[in-house]
Amino acid sequence: MWTSLIQYADYVWLAVRTNPESSGAKKHRGISVLIVPTTAEGFSWTPVHTMAGPDTSATYYSDVRVPVANRVGEENAGWKLVTNQLNHERVALVSPAPIFGCLREVREWAQNTKDAGGTRLIDSEWVQLNLARVHAKAEVLKLINWELASSQSGPKDAGPSPADASAAKVFGTELATEAYRLLMEVLGTAATLRQNSPGALLRGRVERMHRACLILTFGGGTNEVQRDIIGMVALGLPRANR
């Protein structure tokens, strides 16, 4: 489930269990990573429609076979690869660029739109506060991402630390949800109209971004689990009971 952009893909990055006997109580053991061509016999997929707009997919593997040359890394050592790539994904999930883009458009709209009393919306204190909160937190997200990117000067397979990646993911995804909500408040009730709907503001871009960013709070690992990782790795707290 949840294989993104499969309609454009030539290959699938697939984690498979290659040694069931070695797993025991530790489910992360005995896993290998394979590169599977989407043209492989027995491979198929179906779309999964989401509230965010863009579809994801479910993929199916019916007696699919690939050569050993398609294995990434060592056999039964796939868990390290998976977690390393997840850490990269968690940092990259939320870019501040779309937030800044929507902020600029909403600010310009507020500068050129008046309320019923003839006052420019940008001159209202609450509008200024909403825009300022979005700007300030988006700048923090940009600095966090730059810091993590600039720190990757060690071994090529090191990647960001799990705690740093999880912190960036939690902050970024929850900021995005808040930022687009604050911008929609400035636009008013018409902000809920989707793209191509009569009366949609700014081509429905802010509404679409708000809807799309909600999935990011659990994509790449739920934020609740990320907080557990931060607590265990960065703060030395015991593992949460689940």
Instruction: Say how many residues make up the chain.
Output: 242
Enumerate the β-bridge partners of residue 12. Answer: 36
Beta strands in the chain (DSSP E): 11-17, 31-37, 43-48, 56-61, 71-72
| Distance, C-alpha 73 to centroid of its chain | 26
The secondary structure of residue 197, as a DSSP letter, is: S
Which residue is catalytic, options 41, 74, 89, 174? 89
For residue 208, give the nearest of 95, 83, 51 by alpha carbon.
51
- At a CB cut-off of 8 Å and minimum separation 6, what does 22 contact? 29, 30, 76
Other beta carbons within 10 Å of 141: 20
User: Catalytic site residue 89?
Assistant: yes
For residue 65, give the nearest of 86, 34, 109, 44 by alpha carbon.
34
Structure-block tokens of residue 204: 């429905």
Active-site annotation, residues: 89
